[in-house]
Amino acid sequence: MSKHSHIQKQLYHYYSFELSAEESSEVEKHLSDCRICMTEAEEIKKVVQASVGFTSKPSDHRSPEYWQNFFLRVDEQIRTNEFKKQGTSISDEVITIALSWRRPIIAIGSALVIFALVFALWRSNTSLDVKKVTEQPKPPVAGSTETDNRIADYFRRSKTLLIGLSNINLDNPKEIDLSSEQRLSRELVNEARNLQYQPMDDHSARLVGDLEKILIELANLKKDSDFSNVDIIQSSIYKENLLFKIRMVEPIYNDTRFVNTTYEGDR
Amino acid sequence: MTAADERQLILQVKEGNHGAFRVLVERYMKHAYNIAYGFVNDHDDAEDIAQESFVRIYDSIKTFRGDAAFNTWLYRIVMNISLNRLRRKKNMNRTKLSSFQNMMLTADSGYAMVSQNETKEIMERKLHELPTLQRAVVILRHLNGLSTKQVSGILRCSEGTVKTHLHRGLKNLRSKMSYLKSEVL
C-alpha cells in the first residue's frame, strides 16, 4: 500500500479524533507536504464536520411509548409465525385435539368457539345491542383517499384492540374490566357496517368480516358471566391469525394512512 | 452490561427464557432501527425491518455459536433485510420531498443557505446513490458510530477494506452534494 493510500484511509479517523498522537502527527506531516492528499483531506473534513451537528437519531422520531411497546410487537410477530408454521386449520385442530389426550381443554374450547361464532352470527342477523354513537360517521366516498384512510384507521384500531385483548391476564377473571374494549368494539362494528359496502380488495373485505365476528362477540359479553369467554376470544384471535392478516393488508393503505391521524403508540 | 453478562443472557434465550429475550431486544432495538433507517430512509420500513430482525434472531438463536459478538450478528441481519427490501422496491425514494429538497436535489449550481437538519436530510438521500458497500460502511461506521472492527465483522471483510470504502463513500457523498455552495459544506 502506498503512503498516500495509507494516509487517505486515516483521514476520517483523523478528523474524528480517533487517532493516537503519533498517528495524528504522521498524518499532519504528510498533509503538509502532499497537495493531493491535502485536497482529499479537505473533502473528508467537510463531510465529517457537517455531520457533527447531527444530534438526533432516527429512533428519536418515535415516542417513548413506542419503544416501551416495541417488544410486544416483536412478540406478536413471533407468535403469529409460530401459529402459521403449525398450519392450523379448524379441521386439523379438531383432529389433532381429538387424537391428543393432553389437550382436552383445547378440544372443548374449539367446540365452544364454533358454537359462539355461530351464535354470534345468528344474533347479528336478528338484533345487536349496540349503544348509539353520539356522532354518526359520514358514509365514506367510494374509492377516495378518505375511504382508504377510514379503512386503514379501522384496521389500526382493530389491531390495537386485539393486541390488548391478547395480553389480558386471565388469572382473576372477576377483576377484568372490559368496558372500554366493549365500547370500542361496538364503534368498530358500526364502522365495519359502513365500510362493507365500499369497494375494497378481497383480502380486506374478508378480514373486515372476520374481525366483525370477534368484535360482535366481544361487544355482547356480559360481565360476571361471560368473561371466561375472553379466553375463547383470545384463542380465536390466534387461530384465525387476525393480527397477521391485518399486517398483510395494512401496506395496501400505507400511502394514505397517518396523514391526519395519530398512531396511539406515538402519543 | 459486560460481554460475560450478555453471553449468559443469550444462553438463557437459547433455553427459552422469554424475559431474557426481551432484555436483548430492548438493549438493541434502537440501534437496529437506526441502521435500518440508514438504508431505507423510511420510518415504517425501518420499524418492519427492525422487528423482523429480532424475529429472525429468535428463530435461529440456537444456531448462534458466539464466534462473533451478538450485535455483529444482529446488525448483519438488519443490513441484509434492509438491502433485500431495497432491491424489492422499484422506487427507493417514495416519501414526498419538500419543495426545498426537490430544488436542492435538481439544481446544478447555486448558492444556498441550508440548516443542519436540511443538510442531514439531503445527505441521507444522497447516501442512497452510493454503491452498496460504500453505503453500508458509511451508514454503519459514520452514521451509527460502530467501530471499524465491528463493521468488518458485519461485512465479513478486512478492516483495511472498511477504511477504503469509508473513504471512497464519504468522498462520493461530498461530490454529490458539491452543488451546495454553503457554509455547511
Q: Residue B143 burial (CB < 10 Å; 0-12/13-18/19+)?
A: buried
B18-43, pLDDT tens digit by residue?
Answer: 899 999 999 999 999 999 998 888 89
User: What are the tens digits of pLDDT across the range A102-129?
Assistant: 668 788 889 999 999 999 888 887 765 5
According to DSSP, residue B177 is labeled T
Quick one: DSSP state of residue B90? S
**Average pLDDT per 10 consecutive residues for chain B, totaling 185 residues:** 86 90 94 92 93 94 86 94 85 46 42 61 79 91 90 92 92 75 44
Q: Which SS3 state, helix, strand or coil, does residue A161 take?
A: helix
**Across residues A195-223, what is the average pLDDT?**
84
Phi, psi of B158, deg, nearest 5: -80, 160
Take residue B45 and report the three cell numbers written for it.
Answer: 420500513
Which comes out higher in pLDDT, residue A205 or A172?
A205
- ipTM at complex level: 0.79
Q: What is the largest CA-CA distance in chain B?
A: 61
**What's the pLDDT score for residue A237?**
87
Helical H runs in B3-42? 3-14, 18-40
Query: CB–CB of B86/B40 below 8 Å?
Result: yes
Q: Write the DSSP assignment of B111-172 as a string of letters.
A: -----HHHHHHHHHHHHTTS-HHHHHHIIIIIIS---HHHHHHHHTS-HHHHHHHHHHHHHH
Q: What's residue A105's pLDDT?
A: 78
**Rounded mean pLDDT, A238-251:** 85
Residue A252 predicted with pLDDT over 90: no
**Residue B185 distance to chain A (closest CA, Å):** 6
Residues in Cβ contact with A117 at an 8 Å cutoff, skipping those fewer than 6 apart: A213, A217, A236
Task: State pLDDT tens for residues A72-109.
Answer: 999 999 988 888 777 656 666 677 666 666 668 788 88
Task: Show which residues on chain B lie within 8 Å of chain A, measured between beta carbons.
Answer: 18, 22, 25-26, 29-30, 33-34, 37-38, 43-44, 46, 50-52, 54-55, 58-59, 94, 116, 119-120, 123, 142-143, 160, 163-164, 166-167, 170-171, 173-175, 184-185
Residue A27 has pLDDT above 70, yes or no: yes
Rounded-to-10 torsion of CA A204, A206, A210, A213: 110
pTM: 0.54
Classify residue B154 as exposed, middle or buried by CB count within 10 Å of its CB (0-12, 13-18, 19+): buried
pLDDT mean over A32-49? 87
Per-residue model confidence as pLDDT tens digits over A144-179: 677 888 888 999 999 999 998 888 877 776 677 888
Q: B167 and A59: CB-CB below 8 Å?
A: no
Reduced to 3 states (helix: H, G, I; strand: E, B; else coil), residue A152 is helix
Measured distance CA(B36)–CA(B46) in Å, rounded: 5
Residue A19 contacts by C-beta under 8 Å, 6 or more apart in sequence?
A: A10, A13, A27
Taking contacts as CB-CB distances below 8 angstroms, the residues of chain A near B166 are 9, 12
DSSP assignment of A23-65 equals: HHHHHHHHHHH-HHHHHHHHHHHHHHHHTTT----GGGGS-HH
Which chain B residue is nearest to residue A77, measuring alpha carbons? B55
State the pLDDT confidence band at A267, using cuts at 50, 70 and 90.
Answer: very low
Average pLDDT over all residues of chain A: 80
Nearest to B67 by CA among B108, B12, B7, B127: B7
At residue B137, the pLDDT reads: 93
Query: Which residues of A fall within a CB distance of 8 Å from B174?
Result: 43-44, 46-47
Instruction: Quote the mean pLDDT of chain B.
Output: 81
Q: Considering only A14-28, A214-228, B10-24, B49-63, which range has the smallest mean pLDDT?
A: A214-228
**pLDDT for position B103:** 45
Residue A133 clears pLDDT 60, i.e. is over it: no
Does the pLDDT of residue A264 top 80, yes or no? Answer: no
Q: Rounded to the nearest 5°, which phi and psi values hold at A248? A: -75, -35
Region A26-38 average pLDDT: 92
